[in-house]
A and B are shown apart, each in its own frame.
Chain A
Amino acid sequence: DTAVSQTPKYLVTQMGNDKSIKCEQNLGHDTMYWYKQDSKKFLKIMFSYNNKELIINETVPNRFSPKSPDKAHLNLHINSLELGDSAVYFCASSQGTSSETQYFGPGTRLLVL
């Protein structure tokens, strides 16, 4: 069983489109995250939810909107996609909100043309 899963794995789309990425974890964790990894491989936190409540909201364009329907799911919706949004987006989860090991999903490779 996959602990943290993401769909889709690959996403190729045109500039200006709106797209969503979904994440689910079956670990029973309370906290979920979205990270962006750019072409230089730098992994940067975007958002974090704990028990469906937003606890981290880094400096990210407001075209990005996370949504957590329950603590096992965290989705990411991106409006008006831009070329610079091309990256790998990783979902992760952890049991708590401090000093906890994070488990990563397989990533969603987004390419904006």
Chain B
Amino acid sequence: QKEVEQNSGPLSVPEGAIASLNCTYSDRGSQSFFWYRQYSGKSPELIMSIYSNGDKEDGRFTAQLNKASQYVSLLIRDSQPSDSATYLCALWPSGAGSYQLTFGKGTKLSVIP
């Protein structure tokens, strides 16, 4: 079983702070990683994808990947109440015939005004 682990939270941060969301995975061969945001009652939407070790920045969001340690994280700078949502970590497993994303159970983020 190729697993993706996330702390379910809730993670509460004050408005303006940095929110740090973490994800670990068991499949050492995975090459593609994604962060999805899901507002309550809505569908998941892609925020970031990352494929190489290091940081990838997009606006207030930074994804960090460390394949040696098998973790991927998402930093949200200057957190806003509108960032309150569940954040899903996902990866594309390695191996022949891997045609599916594997999702973690998500971390619920609450940004307090």
Contact = CB atoms under 8 A, between A and B. Distances in A.
Contacts of A90: 43-44
Contacts of A45: 100-101
A98 B99 contact: yes
Interface in B84-109: 86, 88, 92, 98-101, 103, 105-106
A97 B88 contact: no
A42 B100 contact: no
B100 A99 contact: no
Given A98-B92, A101-B34, A43 B103 contact: yes
Given A99-B32, A101-B49, A48 B100 contact: yes
- Measured as residues with beta carbon below 8 angstroms from the partner, the interface class of chain B is 20 to 34
Interface in A57-113: 90, 97-99, 101-107
Nearest to A50: B99
B46 A101 contact: yes
A35 to B, nearest CB: 8
B45 A104 contact: yes
Nearest to A44: B103
A12 interface: no
Interface of B: 31-32, 34, 38, 42-46, 49, 51, 86, 88, 92, 98-101, 103, 105-106
Interface of A: 31, 33, 40-45, 48, 50, 55-56, 90, 97-99, 101-107
